[in-house]
């Protein structure tokens, strides 16, 4: 079946540091890939997505590139802020009806001033 | 625009009690979902509804029932709560059923504790 693996953390960084959160996936067919973010006490929000190989999703300074050859979708940001502290979820979705979304376990990021 | 709303935000139950979690969306979406979130396990799909009048089991349906009351509302019922159902429950909606580029929109969650 489909699955998503991501580094669980927690990840602690200083403000303005470079961020990478690794995500790899296993899927049949050609999935779309997503990063969702969950701020404390809130639901998940879409951060970015990519729908085909080599696509780059970007939003709020975050980027991720859909790499089919390595089945990866790593999240990066060049300079994190305290306000980026949250839990980040990698996810995939396929056209296989009923499969819907498969989420990774989430990575908690803490950014210190 | 409220998006996806859930009630209640917090609930404490005793083993064997029943309760219904409510979810509503105002985006005219066709599909709605119920997930549970447990530490280290991400989100797991309990039930989903691809359209009004239809519901299907997800990955972890045991101990739950759902009702798609109308296009806006999708409720989750625990008939006899167990401590293993202690979790945070999220409702979500999307415009299309299982579209590969579809985005899901999430509610704020219900934190449930079963003693």
Q: Tell me the pairing of strands B110-114 and B10-13.
A: parallel
Residue contact B58–A8, C-beta within 8 A: no
Q: Please give the helix or strand (H or E) that residue A103 lies within, else none.
A: strand A101-103
Cβ neighbours for A69, distance < 8 A, ≥ 6 positions apart: none
pLDDT of residue B39: 80
Q: Report d(CA B15, CA A112) in Å as an integer.
A: 41
In chain B, the percentage of residues whose pLDDT exceeds 70 is: 95
pLDDT in tens, chain A (113 residues): 788 999 878 999 999 999 999 999 998 878 889 999 999 888 899 999 998 899 999 999 999 999 999 999 999 999 999 999 999 999 998 766 555 688 899 999 999 99
Taking the Cβ of residue A100 and every Cβ of chain B, the question of whether any pair is shorter than 8 Å is answered with: yes
Instruction: Tell me the pLDDT tens digit for each residue of B68-88.
Output: 989 999 999 999 999 999 999
A39 neighbourhood in chain B, CB within 8 Å: none
Taking the Cβ of residue A89 and every Cβ of chain B, the question of whether any pair is shorter than 8 Å is answered with: yes
Q: B interface toward A at CB cutoff 8 Å?
A: 4, 33, 40-45, 48, 50, 56, 58, 90, 92, 97-109
Residue contact B33–A103, C-beta within 8 A: no
Count CB neighbours of A39 within 10 A: 13
Q: Tell me the pairing of strands A62-65 and B4-7.
A: unpaired
Confidence of residue B67 (pLDDT cuts 50, 70, 90): very high
Phi–psi pair at B98, nearest 5 degrees:
55, 25
Mean residue pLDDT of chain B comes to: 91
Region B6-22: what's the mean pLDDT? 96
Query: In this complex, which of B45, B50, B90 lies closest to A43 when CB atoms are compared?
Result: B90
A59 neighbourhood in chain B, CB within 8 Å: none
pLDDT of residue A95: 64
Q: Report d(CA A104, CA B67) in Å as an integer.
A: 27
Cβ-count burial A50-81 (b if 16+ within 10 Å, e if not)? beeeeeebeeeebbbbbbeeebbbbbebeebe
| Nearest one of B40, B29, B27, B38 to B60, comparing CA atoms | B38
Instruction: Indicate if the pLDDT at residue B52 is higher than 80.
Output: yes
Q: Tell me the pairing of strands B64-68 and B74-78.
A: antiparallel
Answer for the pair A27, A104: CB distance below 8 angstroms, yes or no: no
Phi–psi pair at A5, nearest 5 degrees:
-120, 130
- The 3 state secondary structure assigned to B52-112 is CCCCEECCCCCCEEEEECCCCEEEEEECCCCHHHCEEEEEEEECCCCCCCCCCEECCCEEE
Q: Report d(CA A102, CA B43) in Å as an integer.
A: 8
| Nearest one of B12, B30, B25, B15 to B110, comparing CA atoms | B12
Taking the Cβ of residue A31 and every Cβ of chain B, the question of whether any pair is shorter than 8 Å is answered with: yes
């Amino acid at each position: 079946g489909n699955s998503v693996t991501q580094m669980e953390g927690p990840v602690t960084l200083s403000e303005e540091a470079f961020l990478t959160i690794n995500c790899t996936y296993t899927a049949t067919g050609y999935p779309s890939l997503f990063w969702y973010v969950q701020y404390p006490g809130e639901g998940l929000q879409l951060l970015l997505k990519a729908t085909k190989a080599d696509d780059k999703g970007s939003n709020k300074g975050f980027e991720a590139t859909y790499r089919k050859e390595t089945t990866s979708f790593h999240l990066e940001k060049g300079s994190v802020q305290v306000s980026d502290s949250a839990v980040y979820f990698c996810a995939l979705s396929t056209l296989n009806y009923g499969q819907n979304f498969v989420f990774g376990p989430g990575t908690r990021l803490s950014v210190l001033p | 625009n409220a998006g996806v709303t859930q009630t209640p935000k917090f609930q404490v139950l005793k083993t064997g009690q029943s309760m219904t979690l409510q979810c509503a969306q105002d985006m005219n979406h066709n599909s709605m979902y119920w997930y549970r979130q447990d530490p280290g396990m991400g989100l797991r799909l309990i039930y989903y509804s691809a359209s009004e009048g239809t519901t299907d089991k997800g990955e972890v349906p045991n101990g739950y029932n759902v009702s798609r009351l109308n296009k806006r509302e999708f409720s989750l019922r625990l008939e006899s709560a167990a401590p293993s159902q202690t979790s945070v429950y999220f409702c979500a909606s999307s415009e299309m059923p299982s579209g590969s580029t579809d985005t899901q929109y999430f509610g704020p969650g219900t934190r449930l504790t079963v003693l």
